[in-house]
Amino acid sequence: MKTSLKKQFPFLLMLLPGVFVLIINNYIPMIGVVMAFERYRFKDNFITSLLTSEFVGFQNFEFLFKTPNAATATFNTVFYNLIFIALGLIVPVMLAIALNEVKKKFLGKLYQSLIFLPYFLSWIVVSYLAYSFFSSERGFINTAILTPLGLDTINWYFEPKYWRVILIFFWLWKYTGYNMVVYLAAIAGIDGEYYEAASIDGATKWQSIIHITIPLLRPLMIILTLLAVGRIFNADFGLFYNVPKNMGTLYEVTDVIDTLVFRSLRNMNNVGMSSAAGLYQAVLGCITIFTVNLIVRKIDKDKALF
């Protein structure tokens, strides 16, 4: 064991700063979980407040689940995340394979940059971009498309039926480039000899993709999917709060757990309930990822996350 420690010591030393940051950022704040079971009141400092606040057991959780929009927000969170997981797997893989087949490097880099660019835009910027399209008075769709065609204009921010598709589109537009680059890097690491051997055997380009590229990408696809499943009860707050402009008329299709908690904390200043919601999300996410990982291990142990 001493010999092993001596050999591994430089690597353990390199690992130390990352572990140190992980402990500070991820483990020490877990003390705050206690707030989910308290009627938290600030007094002097955080530790004092934590120790002196009244313990109320599961009252914060009861209050959370009795909130009128809690069931809708939970359903929307899971519904959107399931769609995001599916589209976040299929679309980036397709684009990565297509870009890998572009022979001219300049065009390939140009397409990659254009698809990746939206990832760097904040949701605030995206929300104003969406507003420029969907504003009932000056929006591009109403003024430049529907009105010239003699069609009735749509008051987009008062019509919930359109917003599931709108939100999915903007999520896909923003994150596809980032996910695509991950798969593109994995494809670049595939040994070219596989494709040469397949070509000699008479395989078409499509057959090479089906029997070489996708099978070799499968472990990465499974790992990224498992990580995404772990956050199935967490929503992208910026997307669901900023893009629909926090319009009350759209809550039935845009309200998720994160926006519900934010509004509750802002309107009622209930720290305990927001902590309860955060713990609720974390526990459900943990259970989900362990369950899915167990299923993957039963099917193929080598492709499991842990």
What one-character-per-residue DSSP string does 215-272 give?
Answer: HHHHHHHHHHHHHHHTTTT---HHHHHHTTTT-GGGHHHH--HHHHHHHHHHHH--HH
Residue 68 lies in a domain: yes
pLDDT at 305 over 80: no
For residue 206, the Cα-to-chain-centroid distance in whole angstroms is 31
Q: What is the distance between the alpha carbons of residues 284 and 120, in angstroms, rounded to a whole number?
A: 30
Asked if 40 and 275 count as a contact pair (C-beta separation under 8 A), the reply is yes
235: nearest Cα among 90, 83, 125: 83
Residue 122 lies in a domain: yes
Span 80-124, pLDDT tens digits: 999 999 999 999 999 999 988 888 888 888 888 899 999 999 999
Look up the domain containing 203 and give its range. 38-299
pLDDT at 298: 83
Residue 273 lies in a domain: yes
Report H helices in the chain. Answer: 2-22, 46-52, 59-66, 70-100, 105-116, 123-134, 140, 163-188, 192-200, 205-208, 214-229, 237-242, 251-254, 257-268, 271-299
Q: What is the distance between the alpha carbons of residues 91 and 173, in angstroms, rounded to a whole number?
A: 11
Structural domains counted in the chain = 1
Residue 23 lies in a domain: no
Backbone angles phi, psi at 54, to 5 degrees: -70, 130
Residue 97 lies in a domain: yes
Span 239-287, pLDDT tens digits: 999 999 988 889 999 999 888 888 877 777 778 888 888 888 888 888 8
pLDDT at 237: 92
Residue 11 lies in a domain: no
pLDDT at 267: 74
pLDDT at 162: 94
Residue 223 lies in a domain: yes
Q: How far apart are the first and last CA of the chain?
A: 24
For residue 221, the domain's CATH number is 1.10.3720.10
pLDDT at 30 over 90: no
Among 24-28, 169-173, 223-227, the range with the most confident prediction by mean pLDDT is 169-173
Residue 26 lies in a domain: no
